[in-house]
Chains A and B, each alone.
Chain A
Amino acid sequence: MIVRRFGVRQSRQLLALNRRSPISSRFLSTETQIPVDTAQKEAPVSSPNPLHEVVQATQNPRSLAQKQFKKQEQQRSKFNKLGSAVTDSHDPEGLLKNPPRPSDITLELLLASGTHLGHSTSRWNPQNSRYIYGIREGVHIISLDVTAAYLRRAAKVVEEVAARGGIILFAGTRKGQKRSIVRAAELAGAYHIFERWIPGSLTNGQQILGHCATKVVNALDEELPEFKADLADRPSVKPDLVICLNPLENVVLLHECGLHNVPTIGIIDTDADPTRVTYPIPANDDSLRGTNLIAGILGRAGEAGQKRRIEMAREGKTLYKPVTASELRLDPFTGVLPGAEQTKGPKRD
């Protein structure tokens, strides 16, 4: 019997029971201790009328859970300041919440993010030899100054395309790239794709993207609902710049971009083909920290470009040729007004 009880007391199930360990604020505070009255307090005398309790409960039904939560939050904020202050540490959320700007690119940052690590030497693509610094432990090391230069160039390209009102598409279809892609697209006023690229989205766009909604905007990016009717039979929208974080898995996307003359930016590891993309960024595409960094920098570049474009639009200027109202009213396939076909028809015969 005793042995069995001991077993129960020491058992794993008992230890694994989800109980909150009592943290006494006395142990954690630095203030002088206040003498605590350990004598048991009397239980509150219940009121003679049981209805009183009911009334009190109905008056503030949310109070209990909210009070507990508030207390917990207060405790957390109170004790967060305690302990040693850790500096110069990597905050994984920081790259997503506040990505660095193109001007913040340093070799230290790139090195810390692991962008220099290539693949095993046997898997290399010799076209990448000009980006490779050397070999270490059988792994190619990418030259970081080249990475920085190409990354800055890519950032400039993104900024200029954004300033000219181009449609930028961020594509990163690997597991874990979703958040950085969405964040970069949000910053750059761009578009994102984090799941499979549907083959034919460019070459067969009307079939695949035909049902997806588009809108007409003015130079300040405000929607103009009066042109909604003119959008009916328009071809699907094509991107003006595609940024691909994993070109190896997105061969079809890059091929379609090549067919449609859409410029591309891609992270080229030592085993990838740099001629697949227009603007390669030689870097490690297998480290999420590295791809998050690059996506963040390009997102910031796009943000700067969008800001510039909106500022120019406030002054009544655009760097691109805006679509005119008369063009919108024309039939997108024949290039004539919807009512004008009858007059043109006999001429052809």
Chain B
Amino acid sequence: MARPTSNGLTKAMQSLRLSSQFSQRSLVPSSRQLTRAYATEAEPETTNTAIQPESIPDLSVQAAPEIDFSTSFLRNPARIVPASPSYFSGSPRFVDHVLHLESLQARYAALPQLPAGEAPRMAWFKLKQFREYVGEAVPVKKYKSLVKILQRLNRIQTEMVPGEVRTVLDSFLRPGNPYAVVRETPELDENGKARAKGKRKESKAVVHLVEGEGEILVNGKSLVEAFPRVHDRESALWALRTTQRMDKYNAWVTVRGGGVTGQTEAVTLAIARALMVHEPGLKPLLRRAGVITVDARRVERKKPGHVKARKMPAWVKR
């Protein structure tokens, strides 16, 4: 089948021929009565008479290429079908994912696996992200069952993981790797000063701790002025007291917000953290003393219908 070179003239003539009904009829020979299938898709012809043009056409114009019936049959639409075999489940993309993962799990069940705790930690999609990813409202329970399969695949021994499994697992990872970020350990600055923060209730404390003779300044005042109660002073310096470092460090404390107890215990936490920067070996001691345990409790909000957070109004008969 020799196709004509597509120069401008032939193209123009082709378009002319296609536009005029007259010459279009003469294109298909009457002997070949197949299903009509041009790109232009005209109705099948009823007349078999090929009408000859009266005048002799320009000999320099080449005939149009033969019609390729096989390809045009393939280009015709035949049916509208669902894109996925799980169409009728209502969440086809999710079900397809689950079936694919299950088939992988079955195929690679024989591969050696790591003990449960030793598998590399992976940050799978959060439920909300996964819902966006598949574009379907997946229930919590079903997503959990999918994550279970992911975890099982993730437990395949690291050297033995097939490439197929690895790419599939990677497709379920959250963007960015949260477990790759290593928190930098705080260090002393160039003046030998450790800076640490602590919070308790509504109070926030910042402590600058340097080696010294045991002088403490809280908001520019002495400790006795800042905390008149002995108990508060005891608890503020409890980290230094338990480790017998009272006379080894000077602290410069700024504490804002909240009441006296909150401020005191915020200072405790901040001093303990600053002390750990100077002497990391003290951590178990401080842990046992209970000064580096963060107390995350905050005041519970008041609810409508309640007098306070939980208190209900007294019962009145009428």
Interface on A for B, CB 8 Å cutoff? 61-62, 64-66, 68-69, 165, 167, 169, 182, 185-186, 190-195, 197-198, 201, 208-209, 211-220, 222, 224, 227, 231, 234, 237, 239, 313, 316, 318, 320, 322-325, 328
By beta carbon, the residue of chain A nearest B76 is: A218
Residues of A within 8 A of B70 (CB): 316
Residues of B within 8 A of A68 (CB): 112
Q: From the candidates B35, B80, B136, name the one contacting A215 in the complex (CB within 8 A).
A: B80
CA distance A213 to B69 in the complex (A): 30
Known A191-B86, A191-B88: A218·B78 in contact at CB below 8 Å:
yes
Lowest 9 CB-CB distances: which A-B pairs, in order? Answer: A213-B83, A322-B78, A219-B78, A62-B159, A65-B159, A216-B77, A215-B83, A198-B90, A193-B88
A335 → B minimal CB distance (Å): 16
Residues of A within 8 A of B300 (CB): none
Residues of A within 8 A of B69 (CB): 316
Which of B69, B74, B89: most chain A Cβ within 10 A? B89
Known A65-B160, A212-B92, A231-B80: A186·B87 in contact at CB below 8 Å:
no
A255 → B minimal CB distance (Å): 16
A185 → B minimal CB distance (Å): 5
CA distance A321 to B78 in the complex (A): 8
Q: From the candidates A65, A212, A218, A316, name the one contacting B157 in the complex (CB within 8 A).
A: A65
**Are A201 and B82 in contact, with the CB atoms below 8 A?**
no
Q: Which of B43-91 contact A (CB under 8 A)?
A: 69-70, 73-90
**CB-based A-B contact count at 8 angstroms:** 122
Which of B75, B87, B95, B157: most chain A Cβ within 10 A? B87
6 contacts between A and B (CB under 8 A): A192-B85, A192-B86, A212-B92, A216-B79, A218-B76, A219-B73
B120 within 8 A of A: no
Known A66-B160, A212-B92, A217-B81: A237·B76 in contact at CB below 8 Å:
no
A195 → B minimal CB distance (Å): 6
Residues of B within 8 A of A66 (CB): 159-160
**Are A322 and B77 in contact, with the CB atoms below 8 A?**
yes
**Are B82 and A195 in contact, with the CB atoms below 8 A?**
no
**Are B78 and A328 in contact, with the CB atoms below 8 A?**
no
B224 within 8 A of A: no
CA distance A234 to B82 in the complex (A): 12
Known A62-B159, A65-B160, A212-B92: A323·B86 in contact at CB below 8 Å:
no
B41 within 8 A of A: yes
**Are B82 and A211 in contact, with the CB atoms below 8 A?**
no
A326 → B minimal CB distance (Å): 8
CA distance A165 to B143 in the complex (A): 34
B99 within 8 A of A: yes
B135 within 8 A of A: yes
B111 within 8 A of A: yes
Residues of A within 8 A of B111 (CB): 69
Residues of A within 8 A of B35 (CB): 316
Q: From the candidates B77, B86, B87, B89, name the one contacting A217 in the complex (CB within 8 A).
A: B77
Interface on B for A, CB 8 Å cutoff? 35, 41, 69-70, 73-90, 92, 95, 99, 111-112, 135-136, 157, 159-160
Q: From the candidates B88, B95, B159, B160, name the one contacting A209 in the complex (CB within 8 A).
A: B88
CA distance A193 to B160 in the complex (A): 34
B167 → A minimal CB distance (Å): 18
Known A69-B111, A69-B160, A182-B99: A234·B80 in contact at CB below 8 Å:
yes
**Are A167 and B74 in contact, with the CB atoms below 8 A?**
no
**Are A237 and B80 in contact, with the CB atoms below 8 A?**
yes
CA distance A30 to B159 in the complex (A): 35
CA distance A239 to B95 in the complex (A): 19
**Are A218 and B77 in contact, with the CB atoms below 8 A?**
yes
B105 → A minimal CB distance (Å): 13
**Are A186 and B74 in contact, with the CB atoms below 8 A?**
no
Residues of B within 8 A of A231 (CB): 80
CA distance A2 to B159 in the complex (A): 45
B99 → A minimal CB distance (Å): 6
Known A65-B157, A186-B85, A237-B87: A323·B78 in contact at CB below 8 Å:
yes
Residues of B within 8 A of A198 (CB): 89-90
Q: From the candidates B81, B90, B99, name the one contacting A208 in the complex (CB within 8 A).
A: B90
Residues of B within 8 A of A222 (CB): 74
By beta carbon, the residue of chain A nearest B74 is: A218
Known A65-B159, A66-B160, A68-B112: A212·B80 in contact at CB below 8 Å:
no
CA distance A274 to B130 in the complex (A): 43
Known A61-B159, A62-B159: A237·B74 in contact at CB below 8 Å:
no
A50 → B minimal CB distance (Å): 23
Residues of A within 8 A of B112 (CB): 65, 68-69
**Are A212 and B79 in contact, with the CB atoms below 8 A?**
no
By beta carbon, the residue of chain B nearest A194 is: B89
Residues of A within 8 A of B88 (CB): 169, 191-193, 197, 201, 209, 239
CA distance A234 to B73 in the complex (A): 24
**Are A191 and B159 in contact, with the CB atoms below 8 A?**
no
By beta carbon, the residue of chain B nearest A253 is: B88
By beta carbon, the residue of chain A nearest B136 is: A211
CA distance A101 to B215 in the complex (A): 92
CA distance A224 to B111 in the complex (A): 40
CA distance A306 to B88 in the complex (A): 20
**Are A201 and B90 in contact, with the CB atoms below 8 A?**
yes
